[in-house]
């Protein structure tokens, strides 16, 4: 990090962690969030089952860091309490065995669908089938998956870790502590709100909130600011060396 002139972080929490761990000058860091091409993530409510049937979508690497063990705890509780709910899970990883064992133990083969590894081009089709998106990450700097889901009109239920609380407004996302009891409560709450969710309005708002064009504009602006600051201390030759 000593050789880096300036760092761009995807969230304020990410920036704070970077500064604390590397002890770099905070003035050499900026925050510019990630983005998405919202035109590729649009709602299609006709692909969803009709109320009261509900699909909860999970798209994640099935690892410890992504909280797969929490999903394995949550599903039996939610399926017993709400027989009309189904879980569609996309992704693969070393913790998939937990989900397979849980599904076998509670005989939930008609309630839990494990899709395995999925291609990026298939993500949109899976999201469009859902009403709620569940994220159980234990650490996360930003989490693009939740803005992809929200852009498709899904209400997000997520663990409140890292920079996730900075990503979406409170009416698009319900946050929970990273334990299965709090996540179950959050899903209970989401079921009360889901009827009033306007998926197309959520998509419209997301297109204004996140775009790669805005990321590019902010990046260029930060570069200009950095050049201005550096000209107060360094020669033009040194600046040319920095940016070459």
Classify residue 175 by burial, with Cβ atoms within 10 Å: 0-12, 13-18, 19+: middle
What is the overall mean pLDDT for the chain?
90
Quick one: how far is CA 152 from the chain centroid? 13
Q: Provide mean pLDDT across the span 94-121.
A: 97
Higher confidence at residue 130 or residue 214? 130
pLDDT number for residue 241:
40
Above 90 in pLDDT, residue 216? no
Q: Whose CA is closest to 81, among 175, 196, 189, 184? A: 184
Above 80 in pLDDT, residue 115? yes
Above 60 in pLDDT, residue 240? no
99 touches 62 (CB < 8 A):
yes
Above 90 in pLDDT, residue 116? yes
Above 80 in pLDDT, residue 200? yes
Classify residue 199 by burial, with Cβ atoms within 10 Å: 0-12, 13-18, 19+: buried
Above 60 in pLDDT, residue 125? yes
Answer left, alpha or beta for residue 164, where phi above 0 means left and psi between -120 and 50 means alpha: alpha
Question: Could you tell me the residue ranges of all domains in the chain?
Answer: 1-32, 38-207
131 touches 82 (CB < 8 A):
no
pLDDT number for residue 224:
64
pLDDT number for residue 99:
98
CATH fit for domain 38-207, picks 3.40.50.460, 3.40.50.2000, 3.40.50.300, 3.30.450.70: 3.40.50.2000
Q: How confident is the model at residue 234 (pLDDT cuts 50, 70, 90)?
A: low
CA distance 61 to 80: 25
Q: Whose CA is closest to 45, among 169, 195, 206? A: 195
pLDDT tens figures, 37-86 = 999 999 999 999 998 999 999 999 999 999 999 999 999 999 999 999 99
Q: How confident is the model at residue 199 (pLDDT cuts 50, 70, 90)?
A: very high
Q: Provide mean pLDDT across the span 160-186.
A: 97
pLDDT number for residue 231:
62
Q: How confident is the model at residue 5 (pLDDT cuts 50, 70, 90)?
A: confident
CA distance 148 to 151: 5
Q: Which of 109-113, 136-140, 240-244 has the lowest mean pLDDT?
A: 240-244
Residue carrying structure tokens 């709090």 = 182
pLDDT number for residue 243:
40
pLDDT number for residue 227:
61
Alpha helices (H) along 82-211: 96-105, 120-127, 144-151, 180-193, 199-209
Output the pTM of the full model.
0.89
């Amino acid at each position: 990090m000593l050789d880096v002139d300036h760092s761009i972080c995807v969230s304020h929490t990410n920036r704070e962690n970077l500064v604390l761990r590397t002890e770099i000058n905070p003035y050499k860091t900026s925050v510019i969030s990630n983005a998405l091409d919202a035109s590729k993530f649009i709602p299609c409510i006709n692909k969803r089952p009709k109320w009261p049937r509900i699909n909860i979508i999970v798209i994640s690497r099935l690892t410890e860091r992504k909280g797969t063990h929490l999903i394995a705890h949550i599903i039996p509780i939610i399926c017993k309490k709400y027989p009309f709910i189904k879980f569609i899970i996309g992704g693969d990883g070393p913790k998939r065995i937990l989900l397979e064992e849980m599904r076998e133990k509670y005989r939930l083969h008609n309630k839990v669908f494990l899709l395995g590894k999925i291609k990026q081009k298939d993500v949109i089709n899976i999201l469009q089938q859902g009403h709620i998106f569940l994220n159980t990450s234990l650490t996360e700097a930003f989490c693009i998956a939740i803005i992809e889901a929200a852009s498709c009109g899904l209400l997000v239920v997520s663990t409140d870790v890292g920079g996730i609380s900075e990503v979406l407004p409170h009416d698009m996302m319900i946050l929970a502590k990273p334990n299965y009891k709090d996540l179950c409560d959050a899903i209970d709450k989401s079921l009360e709100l889901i009827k009033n969710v306007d998926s197309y309005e959520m998509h419209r708002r997301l297109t204004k909130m996140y775009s790669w064009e805005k990321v590019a504009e902010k990046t260029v602006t930060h570069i200009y600011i950095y050049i201005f600051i550096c000209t107060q201390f360094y020669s033009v030759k040194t600046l040319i060396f920095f940016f070459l």
